[in-house]
Amino acid sequence: MNIPLLDLQPQLDRLRDEIVDAVTGVIDSKQYILGPRVTEFEEAVAEYCGTTRAVGVSSGTDALLITLMGLGVGPGDLVATTPYTFFATMGSIMRTGARPLFVDIDPHTYNISADHLDELLAGDDEARRRLKAIMPVHLFGQCAAMERITSTADRYGVPIIEDAAQAIGAEFPWSQKNGGILWKKAGSMGLAGCFSFFPSKNLGGIGDGGMVVTSDEAFADRLVSLRNHGSSPKYYHPLIGGNFRLAPIQAAVLHLKLPHLENWHRKRRQNSKNYRRLFRDKGLTPHAVSLPKAEYRGMDSRERHNYHIYNQFIIRVGRRDRLRAFLQEKSIGCEIYYPLCLHQQECLREFGYDRLRLPEAEKAAGETLALPIYPGLTLEMQEYVVETIAEFYQ
């Protein structure tokens, strides 16, 4: 059986005609830059996320960059973030001239550790003085510990920028004063939330695209100006921005996909449930294989886990690289997210991060593996994946 890590074919089979119509509609409209298709999609995403505004941009990377630019982050500043994420999180910080303040991760969720963040800031006057923002990543589709991170951000008076590139639609259970819980959507908890529509994300375009959501009207207006060279009005430039515009072709396709997103999340979550049962039945958990720590909405109110949208299903295993080769030999797609932490990347060598030790992030980089989880993956395929892993650990 050949099982790719991600297969867009089932989605394409279902939506192909609508996608072609949407693209044709843009072509015939002759409106090729911004315009009503972008605005309508922005309104739909803001509504979905529970924010008042959304600003369509050219990619998830540019969503992060433009948000940092909008905050005026630059040389001399620090942005607290995780070393265990896609490169763009850190790349966007470096491109403004600021530097990342790397916070180690929680070994269960792979998101930044709120404890380590507090420790780092409490013990470092200079870091506190230079800190301009906190940029948690909701990695693999699961929200970071946003309540704790928000109280830290409030204590030090800095905004939160959520890198929600992998987490559109994920939710976090926020405590209410009356003891209840309010579920908040990824991207709606900080000053701004950044999404990517890279084709492998839960909501993917037919090319690059991204979005920033916020409920700060003035900040949204600033982003609207920045994405178009900082102009307002046309040919007058109070700010220096760039060309960070979302293409209407992407907006049209993404907009028609948006109503399907919850259903796709549900299928991914069902696949996660299936994996959990299959791994348990084979006796692989909890010893040979560690599964992502996340429970289903309402199931475990004590631990109050997230509404995880499983952009990736990550297992943690021994002899990871050999398992990966074995799965590949059996035509099972899998991938390492991410094999080298950001503080250890070659491009940071001249910036003095080489002596930094972030043990949990470094350990995760050596032990994790992503398995296929996409909607359209069948139970039979999942059984084959788990049987093959069982064969390896026999």
Ligand X SMILES: *Cc1c(COP(=O)(O)O)cnc(C)c1O
Percent of residues in the chain assigned helix, strand, coil, to nearest 5: 45, 15, 40
The least distance separating ligand X from the CB of residue 374, rounded to whole angstroms, comes to 15
The CB-of-263 to ligand X minimum distance in angstroms stands at: 22
Q: Is residue 84 part of the contact set for ligand X (CB under 6 A)?
A: no
Q: How far is the CB of 260 from ligand X (least distance, A)?
A: 20
End-to-end CA distance of the chain: 20
Cβ proximity to ligand X, 67 vs 166, nearer residue: 166
Q: Applying CB under 6 A, which part among 26-34, 81-89, 146-154, 238-246 lies near ligand X? A: 81-89
Cβ 335 to ligand X, closest distance in Å?
12
Residues 341, 72: Cα–Cα separation, whole Å: 27
Stretch that binds ligand X, among 67-75, 85-93, 278-286, 382-390 (CB under 6 A): 85-93
- Three-state DSSP at 390 gives helix
Nearer to ligand X, 51 or 312 (CB): 312
* Shortest distance in whole angstroms from residue 368 CB to ligand X: 15
Burial profile 81-90: b = 16 or more Cβ within 10 angstroms, e = fewer: bbbbbbebbb
Binding to ligand X by residue 353, rule CB under 6 A? no
Of the pair 67, 274, the CB lying nearest ligand X is at 67
Q: Quick one: which H or E segment has residue 329?
A: helix 320-329
Which is nearer to ligand X, 57 or 288 (by Cβ)? Answer: 57
Among 77, 162, 171, 208, binds ligand X (CB under 6 A): 208
Q: Where in the chain does DSSP place strands (E)?
A: 53-57, 78-81, 99-102, 131-135, 161-163, 171-175, 181-185, 192-196, 210-214, 289-290, 313-317, 368-371
Residue 69 or 381 having the CB closest to ligand X = 69
Residue 117: closest CA among 77, 96, 146, 75: 146
Both tokens assigned to 121: 């800031």
Name which position in 34, 37, 53, 60 contacts ligand X (CB under 6 A): 60
Determine if 61 is a binding residue for ligand X (CB under 6 A).
yes
Closest approach of ligand X to the CB of residue 340, in Å: 15
- Interface with ligand X (CB under 6 A), residue from 67, 81, 82, 85: 85
* Strand, coil or helix: 224: helix
Residue 314 Cβ vs ligand X, minimum distance, rounded to whole Å: 13
Binding map of ligand X across residues 361-390, x = CB under 6 A, - = no contact: ------------------------------
Tally of CA atoms within 13 A in the half-sphere of 40 that contains its CB = 13
Residues 89-108 binding ligand X (CB under 6 A) are 89
Closest distance of CB 334 from ligand X, Å: 17
Residue 99: name the closest of 347, 338, 337 by CA.
Answer: 347
Cβ-based burial of 157 (10 A; exposed 0-12, middle 13-18, buried ≥19): exposed
Shortest Cβ 384–ligand X spacing (Å): 27
Binding flags for ligand X, 155-174, as an x/- string (CB under 6 A): --------x-xx--------
- Return d(Cα 389, Cα 44) in angstroms, integer: 41
C-alpha pair distances (Å), 365 with each of 218, 323, 348, 368: 39, 15, 17, 6
Single-letter code of the amino acid located at 359: P
Please choose, out of 44-52, 59-67, 221-229, 321-329, the segment that lies near ligand X by the rule CB under 6 A: 59-67
Scored b (16 or more CB within 10 A) or e, 191-200 reads bbbbbbbbee
Q: For binding to ligand X (CB under 6 A), which residues are involved?
A: 59-61, 85-86, 88-89, 137, 163, 165-166, 196, 198, 208, 210
